Amino acid sequence: MPRGPVSPPGFTEGTNPRVSEPGRLLSVALGNVIRRRRLARALEVRELAALAGLHKGTMCRIELSRIQVRTDDLVRIAVALETSPVDLIAEAVAEAFPGGWATVSLGQDEAPPSLPGDDLSALSMAMACPW
């Protein structure tokens, strides 16, 4: 019998099965853009994290694309970098999809797999969370 958590079908360690390939590419590019903008301002990771009100580890994981940046965190990072979230995303889109946004598609094989609990029980669990 396997020990520890069992990964859902289609899951590879270090990936999120709910993220499409274009989504992953955009996440990586956004991390790269944030890192370049931080370095251009001669900021350390901890300094940008402090300016954005984030934990240093979170900032590092965003830059390395270990986690997807949340919308509110992207706004905080953009303000700390004295730019807009739109500028960061536009630069990331240009990096991730050099052929233009029109080249992006989600084929049937790229659709994210459903996970166990993707039903009303997941909703009831979310409602029970204290946050």
- Of residues 43 and 20, more confidently modeled: 43
Report the pLDDT value the prediction gives residue 62, as an integer from 0 to 100: 96
Q: Which candidate, 108, 84, 101, places its Cα nearest to that of 33? A: 84
Task: Say what percent of the chain tops pLDDT 90.
Answer: 54
pLDDT at 105 over 90: no
Domains and CATH numbers, the chain: 21-102 (1.10.260.40)
Locate 31 and state its tokens: 């991390």
Q: Mean pLDDT across the chain, nearest whole number?
A: 77
14 burial type by CB count under 10 A (0-12 exposed, 13-18 middle, 19+ buried): exposed
- Of residues 12 and 53, more confidently modeled: 53
pLDDT at 49 over 90: yes
pLDDT at 36 over 70: yes
